[in-house]
Amino acid sequence: MKSLSPEQAESAAVPELIAATEQAMPQQANALARARAFAEPLIAGETLDTGENTLAHADAVAAILKSMGGSQAMQAASYLVYATSHLNKPQEIIAKAFGENYAALAMETNKLVRIQRQARDASDAQPIDDAKAQTEAVRKMLLAFSRDLRVVMLRLASRLQTLRWHAATKNPAPPSVCNEVLHVFAPLANRLGIWQVKWEMEDLAFRFLDPDTYRAVAGQLDQKRTERETYVEQLRSRLEAELLAQGIKASVYGRPKHIYSIVKKMRGKSLDFDQVFDIRALRVIVPSVDDCYAALSWVHEKFTPLVEEFDDYIAKPKPNGYQSLHTIVRDKEGRPIEIQIRTQAMHDHAEHGVAAHWAYKEAGTKGYSGVTASGEYDAKIAVLRQLLAWERDLVGSGDGLFDDRIYVLTPDAAVVELPRGATPVDFAYTVHTSLGHRCRGARVDGAMVPLNTPLQNGQTVEVISAKEGGPSRDWLNAELNFLVSHRGRAKVRAWFNEQVRHETIARGRESVEKLLQREGKTAFKLEDLASQLGFKSAEDLFFAVGKDEFSLRNIETLLKPPEPLPDPDEIVLLKKARSVERSPKGGVLVVGIDSLMTQLAKCCKPAPPDSIRGFVTRGKGVSIHREDCSNFRELASRSPERVIDVEWGVPKGEGGSVYPVDVGIEASDRQGLLRDISEVFAKEKMNVIGVQTQSVKGTAWMTFTVEIADSQRLNKVLGLVGEVNGVRWAKRR
């Protein structure tokens, strides 16, 4: 058995797709009439952006779909597409009335219509024939069609009707619409072999874009129309009769003339109108492939062939599956005649391509996106590969389109867009993060490949995954080329960061729970503890403790009971003296009492020249507070009789007393932040005797305990700390 080329194999899959026409959507009784009746009250009184009545447009689209071989179900969808914008919950309502399949098709088509309208609205700044704009237009269509291939027929039929309406009403079509037709829709129809739509679209769009050239060529065609048609008819009759005499039952037709193709040939090859070969053209339809070659042999025997103009698209079909024999011959007078020879099946495909009866079954084995094309899987793959071949054509044009992207297929024939050079691991992460983490192997077009194999356009990729597990650290090694996409790299880094976080939280939790056991506070709620310490959750507290960014001493301090206020009965009443004496011990001057023991309060850590007050404690002498200390104000309000006046003593000699104070800092967390702040204190010769840090979601809170002799000098140092990169504020606590 003769092996098939890849192109032949793909085109061989198309008949499967064609045969499945009536199964594209669940067939319902009177679906077409019901859909029209459903949409009519919603759209009958409105017009499209072009000015055409919406219902009339839908009627015409349904008729075009019918002429292309679309089923009644497909025609019904043309009405539902335009009804969606008038419904509050279109998907839900249409699904209830007609089924999920109709609803999905209507919504997907409507979505693409909106995208294309936005692209046209921006065309004044960036025309559709601009390389970048065309790239995006094609890319969006590819992805839309990959989700539901039937969108192709609906969009092509709708755009063809728009052009017909403009022609019929003599209302010129906008250049943005015509350019979109020539650069996106017509190439799409060409790629899928829907010639009937392609030629008509091109002629109509060209007619509006360049009306002078169009009329000139049309006029030249009309000048000798009668003479040419008479000649072609005589040639047609002779060819049909003589082939029949040779035992070849052939149907011979004159081939339509397409003005846009004539102009392209004239411009591309710098030809005059009379030099265009296919001005006179015939098409020969025969029963079999053998008859095609037999007919070709007879034609070459009776006429003089131009060898360089012969193409055998039967032996080597075009990428879109088109098959035919093309030859150009000259008659006795030297007039060129183009003759195409093909079978009826080839002719049907050439006229309507895969759209002849577009469909694919929607049931069967579930894949990544939930639905696969079951029996028509190979057919759907063939069509998608035609769309991807379209993309390859653009890349090969030298315009640089799609140089940064490739498209591959999942096992259920969904298109996945990836950066060029992407690997199966990139593919897995693009499909789903969990699939990426569990990826252990891959098949590309059915063959096992290493996970760092670069993928190519149109390949089918199947991921082999474990039930659970995580990525490999090797995937982050740039030299090993496991990951190209930023998304994939970010997902792998996030996975490992989360593992580290889990371990850190577990370590912090263990430390906090041990502390609570030592202090006999196991009944203390962890969330309450975290909240009192300024954390949003217990996990954030554990994480800070686990990273050694938050000292357990802070928790111990919180858990210790507050110092009880002195019993009023045990107060030693102190009478204020009328004179002021300086304490020989230095440090603090106590009004009226010279030898009373003093201590600096830890809650506010006063230092000269702060305004200070004293509070007589039970058994610990006088506690010295800053006058603005909240703790002092509370003590004074409860026991005002125990407050005494104090002031700083005069330091003796150089290098007098130093006092510990706390400095609070908030900053954006970064590497080296603690070092940079510590250097400021070191340069200013301030001794740091304690540091506590806490970092939550990129924000660092720090408390530095520094020794100072003068709190006024501290303000200058805090200004320097505030200039450190990332520091938001720095102030004394």
Q: Does residue 202 register a pLDDT over 50?
A: yes
Least reliable range by pLDDT among 285-299, 412-426, 442-456: 412-426
Same domain, 606 and 702: no
Specify whether 448 is located in the same domain as 585: no
Mean pLDDT value across residues 560-570: 50
Q: Give the domain-ending residue among 450, 484, 518.
A: 484
| Rounded-to-integer distance, Cα 320 and Cα 585, Å | 102
Average pLDDT of 478-489? 90
Q: Is the pLDDT of residue 370 over 50?
A: no
Question: For the chain, how many structural domains are there in total?
Answer: 6
Tell whether 71 and 183 lie within a shared domain: yes
In a domain, 669, yes or no: yes
Answer with the one of 559, 592, 612 that is the final residue of a domain. 559
**N- to C-terminal Cα distance for the chain?**
90
pLDDT surpasses 70 at 663: yes
Residue 523: the pLDDT is 77
Euclidean distance between CA atoms 86 and 577, whole angstroms: 91
Summarize the confidence of residues 166-187 as an average pLDDT. 86
Query: Using CA of residue 704, residue 710, residue 711, residue 717, what is the dihedral sign?
Result: negative
Task: Supply the angle between the helices 54-67 and 31-43 in degrees, to the nearest 10.
Answer: 160
**pTM for the model:** 0.48
Task: Provide mean pLDDT across the span 354-381.
Answer: 37
Is residue 507 situated within a structural domain?
yes
Q: Which of 317-321, 394-398, 688-692 has the highest mean pLDDT?
A: 688-692
Angle at 489 between CA 483 and CA 492, to 5 degrees: 110
Residues 666 and 619 in one domain: no
- Judge whether 9 lies within some domain: no
**Reported confidence tier of residue 52, pLDDT bands at 50, 70, 90:** very high
Asked if the structure places residue 489 within a domain, the reply is no
Indicate whether 539 pLDDT > 70.
yes
Whether residues 204 and 232 fall in one domain: no
Choose one of 594, 613, 648: the last residue of a domain.
Answer: 648
State how far the Cα of 365 lies from the Cα of 371, in Å rounded to an integer: 7
Answer whether residue 616 is part of any domain: yes
Least confident of 260-274, 402-416, 524-538, 585-599: 585-599
- Choice among 65-69, 259-263, 464-468, 536-540 with the minimum mean pLDDT: 259-263
The pLDDT > 70 percentage for the chain reads 73
List, for residues 724-733, the tens digit of each pLDDT value.
Answer: 888 888 888 7
| Sequence-distant (≥ 6) Cβ neighbours of residue 454 within 8 angstroms | 421, 422, 423, 481
Whether residue 366 lies inside any domain: the answer is no
Question: CA 275 → CA 210, 269, 336, 519, distances in Å?
Answer: 22, 10, 8, 102
Q: What is the mean pLDDT of residues 332-340?
A: 83
Are the CB atoms for 146 and 410 separated by under 8 Å? no
Residue 147 reports pLDDT greater than 80: no
Domain containing 526 equals 494-559
pLDDT in tens, 294-322: 999 999 998 889 888 899 999 998 876 78
> What letter does residue 571 receive in the DSSP assignment?
-
Residue 60's pLDDT band (boundaries 50, 70, 90)? very high
CATH code, domain carrying 84: 1.10.3210.10
Beta bridge partners of 647: 589
pLDDT at 222 over 80: no
CATH number for 353:
3.30.460.10
Does pLDDT of 443 surpass 80? yes
More confident residue, 721 or 360: 721
- Confidence check: pLDDT of 588 > 70: no
DSSP secondary structure letters along 169-229: HT-PPPHHHHHHIIIIIHHHHHHTT-HHHHHHHHHHHHHHH-HHHHHHHHHHHHHTHHHHH
Other residues' Cβ atoms within 10 Å of the Cβ of residue 624: 24
Backbone CA torsion sign across 532, 533, 537, 539: negative
Three-state SS for 127? coil
Asked if residue 203 and residue 106 are part of one domain, the reply reads yes
**Domain co-membership, 158 together with 28:** yes
H or E segment at 690?
strand 687-696
Q: Kindly report the backbone phi and psi dihedral angles of residue 667, in degrees, each rounded to the nearest multiple of 5, phi listed first.
A: -155, 160
59 shares its domain with 201: yes
Judge whether residue 379 has pLDDT over 80.
Answer: no
The overall average pLDDT reported for the chain is: 76
Nearest 5 degrees, angle CA 15-CA 28-CA 144? 55
Structure confidence by residue, pLDDT tens digits, 179-201: 888 877 887 777 666 777 888 89
Predicted confidence band of residue 705 (pLDDT cuts 50, 70, 90): confident
Rounded Cα distance between 668 and 184, Å, is 49
Q: What pLDDT, on a 0 to 100 scale, did the predictor assign at position 428? A: 93
> Domain check: are 344 and 435 in the same one?
no
- Are 316 and 336 members of one domain? yes
Considering the domain architecture, whether residues 545 and 590 belong to the same structural domain is answered as no
Interval 107-146: pLDDT, tens: 878 777 776 666 556 544 444 445 455 555 555 555 555 5
Within-domain flag for 719 = yes
- Regarding whether 517 and 479 lie in a shared domain, the answer is no
Tell me if 653 is assigned to some domain: no
